[in-house]
């Protein structure tokens, strides 16, 4: 992905009030499954979201790391569609940092959060290491 496109996508993600997107995974029967997620992102276009370790998307990611992510705006009507490889972040301190970032981006203030030690914090990698 060229730098100009990367910057355009990051700017698009950054100006959105809603940080709600859809992540799509593939189940064990090779069928697609999609779910809404609140997300945050970094300068390498890695998309981060929290999920429970009992969720379908978490279990699907453990089996098949190929995922898609979509978000849209109404006014003006625009969509962003990304495909990539998901990774689960199991380090508790990293989870806390990522969850704190997610909470802050969602409504501008930090929330106290509890991170499930047995769960993970998936990220959709689209940065240079995942191309």
Give me the pLDDT at residue 112, please.
31
pLDDT above 80: residue 129: no
Give me the pLDDT at residue 109, please.
35
Among the four given CATH numbers 2.30.110.10, 2.70.50.60, 3.40.630.30, 1.10.3470.10, the one describing domain 3-130: 2.30.110.10
Give me the pLDDT at residue 33, please.
97
**Residue 101 contacts by C-beta under 8 Å, 6 or more apart in sequence?**
40, 48
How high is the mean pLDDT of the chain? 78
Give me the pLDDT at residue 128, please.
38
pLDDT above 70: residue 119: no
Binned at pLDDT 50, 70 and 90, residue 111 comes out as very low
pLDDT above 80: residue 102: no
Alpha-carbon distance of 123 to 42, in angstroms, equals 10
For strands 47-49 and 78-89, give the pairing.
unpaired
CB 23 within 8 A of CB 57: yes
Mean pLDDT computed over 53-76? 91
* Closest CA relative to residue 64, chosen from 122, 126, 131: 122
Q: How many percent of the chain have pLDDT more than 70?
A: 78
């Amino acid at each position: 992905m060229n730098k100009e496109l990367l910057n355009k996508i990051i700017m698009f993600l950054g100006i959105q009030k809603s940080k709600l997107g859809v992540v799509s995974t593939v189940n064990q029967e090779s069928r697609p499954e999609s779910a809404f997620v609140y997300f945050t992102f970094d300068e390498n276009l890695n998309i981060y979201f929290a999920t429970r370790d009992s969720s379908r998307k978490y279990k699907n990611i453990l089996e098949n790391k190929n995922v898609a992510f979509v978000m849209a705006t109404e006014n003006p009507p625009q969509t962003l569609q990304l495909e990539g490889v998901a990774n689960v972040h199991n380090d508790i301190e990293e989870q806390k940092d990522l969850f704190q970032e997610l909470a802050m981006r969602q409504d501008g203030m930090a929330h106290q959060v509890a991170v499930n030690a047995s769960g993970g914090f998936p990220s959709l990698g689209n940065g240079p290491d995942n191309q």
